[in-house]
Structure 1
Amino acid sequence: MRKTPFHIQSRRSFLKSSIAGAAVAVALPAGAFAQAKVLKVAGIYTVPVEQQWVSRIHIAAVAAQERGDIEYTYSENTANTDYPRVMREYAEQGYDMIIGEIFGVEQEAREVAADYPDVAFLMGSSFKEDPALANLSVFDNYVQDASYLSGIIAGAMSESGKIGMVGGFPIPEVNRLMHAFMAGAKEMNPDIAFQVSFIGSWFDPPKAKETAYAMIENGADLLYAERFGVSDAAKEKGILAIGNVIDTQPDYPDTVVASAIWHFEPTLDAAIAKVQAGTFTAEDYGTYSFMKEGGCSLAPYGTFEGKIPQEALDLVAKRTEEIKSGAYTVTINDEEPKSS
């Protein structure tokens, strides 16, 4: 585990532009929280903050700090075996809220939370909230709306009708995104075929890259990059990719056509407001990631403007409005996806 204060992290160029943009995007009216307590918030992450999923939490926390709502510090690369200990350390230090991900340490983390009823815990989890544990709320990145839209683009851009999909682990938060993406692709091409593989890691770019190579050898001409490393393989082999959670097109301008973006700000801001108001309790914050809540979006097409079939663009626009209005609902399927 390495504890890294924000002033050191700010030197990391990978997150600089995203953090600056988030600070502007979520800026609130002056004095909105003028009378509210500035919360001490700690993040605990099992991977580097550059990793897609965690980076979205980190960016939202930095924005809240720059806005003046919280004082934020974090620990990254925390092993699951150390996670409960780090939770206790922050709780003992008087932090008001602890955020992070307990997918691999559910029982132990909930036992720690029970020992500190005055500390609010907002944790990524595959399980639901427990009313008996009032100070622990759960969340997940329910960005199936944006994933579905990115699938429409993928279905229109694949010429071979073969798409490769590389994920970390077949857990609900990954499975639902893949299923939504596949549903979108099938709207453009009902006969499209998928190769699906999981690398058994949240951060192993070389392994993800090798898995993607194999899919390309098997005929895939477009890849779903749920993990880092996949877009590198696509770039090297001259095929296209669809991003996930973050917008990587600036790094792969000729490769990444579109990306489903997760915005953690609505989730974190709702929790901050409730802690400040003294109303924080056990809840499932998953719906704050829905498109209608501002929790996800489809990234700008950038260098692919004018290169995507109009039929796909029209359907994306139509579905976007329907999703926001509630007229169309993207199916949430948490079962493990299979290859065609």
Structure 2
Amino acid sequence: MRKMALIVALFTLCLFSTAAMSFEAVPADKLKAAWLYNGPIGDGGWTYMHDLGRLEVEKAFPDVTTMYVESVPEGPDSVRAMENFIRNGAKVIFATSFGYMDYVQEAAKRHPDIIFMHCSGFKMADNVGIYFGRMYQARYLSGLVAGSMTEKNVIGFVAAHPIPEVIRGLNAFTLGARRANPDVKVKVVWLFSWIDPGKEKEAAKALVDAGADVLAMHANTGSVPQAAEEAGVYVVGYNNDMSQYAPTKHLTAPVWNWGVVYKYTVEKVINGTWEPEDIWWGLDKGMVALAPYAKDVPDAVKDLVEGERQRIASGEWDVFEGPIKDNKGNLIVKEGQKLTDQDLLSMNWLVEGVEGELPK
């Protein structure tokens, strides 16, 4: 019994010691933080917004040194880029695209003393945290605007890849559009790419030809808004306020504020309180929001959006609460129920109102 008690005590002590271990504080003037981007910072969208977050860190912590590398493919080259960051003194690395996930794990195993933060992934480790935002909430709000502004009841959606992140956003957008206008149908073109300006523009044109008088997007450049402006149809952008690409037709956009999580993380590294977390913040934290409205958006629509925004931000209600049917008529979420985060993170079905099927 004494031997067993000693083993239990030692095991408990080990657990306590492990739990108590943390990364040492890094003074701001000694801290180098690095960002790994899969696109160019001039894309006007995804990478541009991440880089604005990096610049917010520089402003909030002027003694911290930041560095970045852009247009790194989601493959072995990303490991080489992270190794180069570390050779140059980086203590925390932000990998800003889903496809970096396994490569972050590889680099983290080699460098247990370096902190890694991976965007949109699901694999964690002692020195790897993950972060993302509940963009589906802002998508829903932008859908309210789009559904209110269509006259043909046909909305076109240019979508990157058929993965849960994109499907979740498409579904939330459609739920918002049909909340404002139950007759709305959403047509989708899949790009199978994150960044392809030419393909994005051609997809937008095809949707206009198919009858859409409002476009929306999960793509990384301003090509869809440009196509909307040229075709004379409204558009809801993404990532950033994309009104510069469609000055007369851009209604609003669900936008990111990555600086919220970047400043939070850097402060914890400086204070020595960083630990791996699964961060998934939304409207309540200001990590996602809507871009300013176009002058064409009526006050009544703005009031509708604001009412729904308050309900979501307060925690009173969230987007995927029942009843919700899929686009085949099956009841997926019953009245009084809502999807769990795991349901949201693995979503592979389309809501009522989205035309077509998911690509295999």
Among residues 102, 109, 114, which one is paired with 2:104 in the alignment?
Answer: 109
Q: Deviations over 1:213-249 (max 9, x none)?
A: 1111111111003222111211111101001110011
The answer (yes or no) to whether the contact 2:155–2:187 under 8 Å persists in 1 is yes
Is 2:303 aligned against 1:314? yes
- 2:263 equivalent in structure 1: 269
> Whole-Å Cα distance in 1 between the matches of residues 138 and 63 of structure 2?
29
Among all aligned residue pairs of Structure 1 and Structure 2, give the percentage whose two residues are the same amino acid.
Answer: 31
Within a 5 Å distance, the mapping from 1:122-137 to structure 2 comes to 122-129=117-124, 133-137=125-129
The answer (yes or no) to whether the contact 1:126–1:173 under 8 Å persists in 2 is no
Among residues 57, 79, 91, which one is paired with 2:50 in the alignment?
Answer: 57
Within a 5 Å distance, the mapping from 1:262-301 to structure 2 comes to 262-287=256-281, 290-301=282-293
- 1:3 equivalent in structure 2: none
> Whole-Å Cα distance in 1 between the matches of residues 131 and 355 of structure 2?
28
Query: Which is worse superposed, 205-214 or 312-321?
Result: 312-321
Report the Cα offset of residue 187 of structure 1: 0.4
Among residues 230, 240, 245, which one is paired with 1:246 in the alignment?
Answer: 240
- 1:139 equivalent in structure 2: 131
Against the structure 1 CA distance between its residues 73 and 256, is the aligned structure 2 distance closer, same or farther, given a 3 Å change threshold?
same
> Whole-Å Cα distance in 2 between the matches of residues 101 and 298 of structure 1?
21
> Whole-Å Cα distance in 2 between the matches of residues 115 and 40 of structure 1?
19
Is 2:62 aligned against 1:73? no
Gaps of 5+ in 2: 1-26, 321-340
Report the Cα offset of residue 36 of structure 1: 4.6
The answer (yes or no) to whether the contact 2:98–2:121 under 8 Å persists in 1 is yes
Is 2:204 aligned against 1:212? yes
The answer (yes or no) to whether the contact 1:180–1:330 under 8 Å persists in 2 is yes
Within a 5 Å distance, the mapping from 1:1-340 to structure 2 comes to 36-51=28-43, 52-67=45-60, 68=62, 70-79=64-73, 80-129=75-124, 133-227=125-219, 228=221, 229-287=223-281, 290-301=282-293, 304-305=294-295, 307-331=296-320, 333=344, 334-335=347-348, 337=350, 339=355
> Whole-Å Cα distance in 2 between the matches of residues 277 and 291 of structure 1?
26
- TM-score w.r.t. length of structure 1: 0.83
Report the Cα offset of residue 173 of structure 1: 2.5
Q: Deviations over 1:62-81 (max 9, x none)?
A: 12113315211111111223
Against the structure 1 CA distance between its residues 308 and 253, is the aligned structure 2 distance closer, same or farther, given a 3 Å change threshold?
same
Gaps of 5+ in 1: 1-34
SS class of match (2:58): helix
Which residue identity is paired with 2:53? Answer: A
Which residue identity is paired with 2:201? Answer: K
SS class of match (2:68): strand
SS class of match (2:67): strand
Q: Deviations over 1:263-297 (max 9, x none)?
A: 1111111111111122222211222xx01001111
Aligned length: 300
> Whole-Å Cα distance in 2 between the matches of residues 97 and 268 of structure 1?
11
The answer (yes or no) to whether the contact 1:209–1:230 under 8 Å persists in 2 is yes
Report the Cα offset of residue 162 of structure 1: 0.4
The answer (yes or no) to whether the contact 2:50–2:96 under 8 Å persists in 1 is no
Report the Cα offset of residue 93 of structure 1: 2.6
The answer (yes or no) to whether the contact 1:102–1:109 under 8 Å persists in 2 is no
The answer (yes or no) to whether the contact 1:162–1:194 under 8 Å persists in 2 is yes
Larger Rg: 2
> Whole-Å Cα distance in 2 between the matches of residues 149 and 216 of structure 1?
22
SS class of match (1:285): strand
Which residue identity is paired with 1:233? Answer: A
Report the Cα offset of residue 128 of structure 1: 4.3
The answer (yes or no) to whether the contact 2:76–2:103 under 8 Å persists in 1 is no
Which residue identity is paired with 1:125? Answer: S
Which residue identity is paired with 1:100? Answer: A
SS class of match (2:194): coil
Against the structure 1 CA distance between its residues 38 and 323, is the aligned structure 2 distance closer, same or farther, given a 3 Å change threshold?
farther
> Whole-Å Cα distance in 2 between the matches of residues 155 and 109 of structure 1?
40
